[in-house]
Amino acid sequence: MSVTSSLPLRPGESRILRGLSEQQALGAALAGALPAGSVLFLEGELGAGKTSLTQGLVGAYGFTEPVTSPTYALMNVYPAPGGPVLHVDAYRVRDVQELFEMDLEDLVRESRVSVIEWGEGLYAEYPDAPILRLEHQEDPETRRVTRVR
């Protein structure tokens, strides 16, 4: 898997994704483009497609078991053959210090990629990490993805 291919979206760019398969395909494309040790932030309301995109990403690294956001555990590591993927759900986190106390920095360094949901409190900490916003559309069969940064 090449790490030199560029990200599928430029900052500010947005795209319509039709159906689960396109949502997962975007995740897979990101998997190929994100350098080792990088962070990817996902924003989006309930049902916007965060888990679907993450499933596509970890699937591209060869991990095919179901993925769910670690809302209560806060963090989960998927032992993908292509490298471990850290999945963080910061929805219930009041102070990002909680995550640093759980060794976030080491886990990010050791992971192939870290997907962080609801991670606004960490945007300044990882200034190079792309932020994707996922949104519902009028057409329930589609979602919009925007690269915010």
Ligand X SMILES: Nc1ncnc2c1ncn2[C@@H]1O[C@H](COP(=O)(O)OP(=O)(O)OP(=O)(O)O)[C@@H](O)[C@H]1O
Q: Which residues bind ligand X (CB under 6 A)?
A: 17-20, 22-23, 44, 46-52, 69, 141-143
What residue type is 131 in one-letter code? I
Q: 37: Cβ–Cβ under 8 A, 6 or more apart, which residues?
A: 108, 109, 111, 112, 113
Q: How far is the CB of 58 from ligand X (least distance, A)?
A: 13
Q: How far is the CB of 1 from Mg ion (least distance, A)?
A: 25
Residue 81 to residue 68: CA distance in whole angstroms: 19
Position of minimal CB gap to Mg ion: 51
* Whole-number Cα distances in Å, 47 to 88, 97, 114, 140: 17, 28, 20, 10
CA 13 to chain centre: 17
Choosing from 38, 51, 55, 114, the residue that interacts with Mg ion (CB under 5 A) is: 51
Q: How far is the CB of 135 from Mg ion (least distance, A)?
A: 14
Considering beta carbons, is residue 101 or 138 the nearer one to ligand X? Answer: 138
Per-residue interface string for the shown chain with Mg ion, residues 52-91, x marking contact by CB under 5 A: -----------------x----------------------
CA 56 to chain centre: 10
- Contact residues: Mg ion, CB under 5 A: 50-51, 69
